[in-house]
Amino acid sequence: MSITVSIVEDSPDVRAIIAGWVGSASGFELVSEYTNVESAVSDLPRQRPNVVLVDINLSGQSGITCVRQLKPLMPETQFMMVTVFEDSDHIFDALTAGASGYLLKQVPREELLEAIRQVHEGGAPMSSYIARKVVHWFQAKPQESRKEPENLSTREREILRLLARGHAYKEIADELHVSIGTINTHIRRIYKKLQVSSRSEAVSLFAPFPTEPVAPPGAQA
C-alpha cells in the first residue's frame, strides 16, 4: 500500500515542489494540502494520512502549534517538520510538540522521500546538522535531570532505549524477534504510562540510562 502524505505549507512555490515530488513518486499518495493551521486542524483528523509534512513559519499560527494540536487527535500519524529554522528552540519545541522528524528545506528530493519512508516505519529522520544538535543537547543535559521510567517493564525500557537510538519499529521487532504488532502494543503502553503522545516526547523526557540492563532477545516483558 502507498504511504499517504499531507502537506501544511503556505508558500505556493515550495508546496508545489514538495507536492510534485510526493505525487509523482512510486509508493506514495498525496492526499491533501493546506496553507494554514486552521484548515489543517479542521480537516486532517478526518483524512488521517500516514505522514504530514509541516512548515514552521506559517502565516498565522505556527506549524509547531499545528502539530501540538493534531498529534493527540492523530496518534498513529507521523509528523515531520520541513523548515528553514535550524535553531535549538524551534527544533526542540517541534519535537516535544509531537514531531518525529525534522528536515531543512534544502533537502534533495530522494532524501525527502526516504525520510517519509523512515518516519512512516517508526524512524526519526533528521537533516545531519539537526541530528548533531540533538546529540549535543542530550550529551550536555545533566544526568540528574533525566527521569528514569521506573513504571516501565524491562522489555518496555529496552524498547524505549532502542527508540532513543533511532531504530525503526521493524528494526526493533527484528532485534527482539517479535512482530511489529507486538512492538506497536508495547509502544502504546509506554506512551500511556509516560503520559506522552509521541516517540520524540518519550525520548526527550525519559531518556533511558546507558547503564540500564538489556533483556535478552525473546525474553518476556
Same domain, 158 and 126: no
Same domain, 47 and 65: yes
Q: What is the pLDDT of residue 54?
A: 97
Same domain, 7 and 36: yes
Give the confidence band of 219 by pLDDT, cuts at 50, 70, 90. Answer: very low
The grid coordinates listed for 172 are 526493533
Please state the φ and ψ torsions of residue 142, each to the nearest 5 degrees.
-55, 135
Instruction: Measure CA 79 to chain center.
Output: 6
Same domain, 92 and 175: no
Structure-model confidence comparison of residues 96 and 221, the more confident one = 96
Which range among 9-13, 134-138, 184-188 shows the weakest confidence by mean pLDDT?
134-138
State the DSSP code for 208.
P
| Burial class of residue 60 (count of CB atoms within 10 Å of its CB; 0-12, 13-18, 19+) | exposed
The grid coordinates listed for 37 are 493551521
Please state the φ and ψ torsions of residue 44, each to the nearest 5 degrees.
-65, -35
Domain boundary among 94, 114, 137: 137
What order of strands is seen across the sheet that includes strand 101-104?
28-34, 3-8, 51-54, 78-83, 101-104
Q: What is the pLDDT of residue 164?
A: 73
Q: What is this structure's pTM?
A: 0.65
Domain boundary among 90, 113, 137: 137
State the DSSP code for 100.
S
For residue range 55-86, list pLDDT tens digits in order: 999 988 999 999 999 999 999 999 999 999 98
The grid coordinates listed for 77 are 500519524
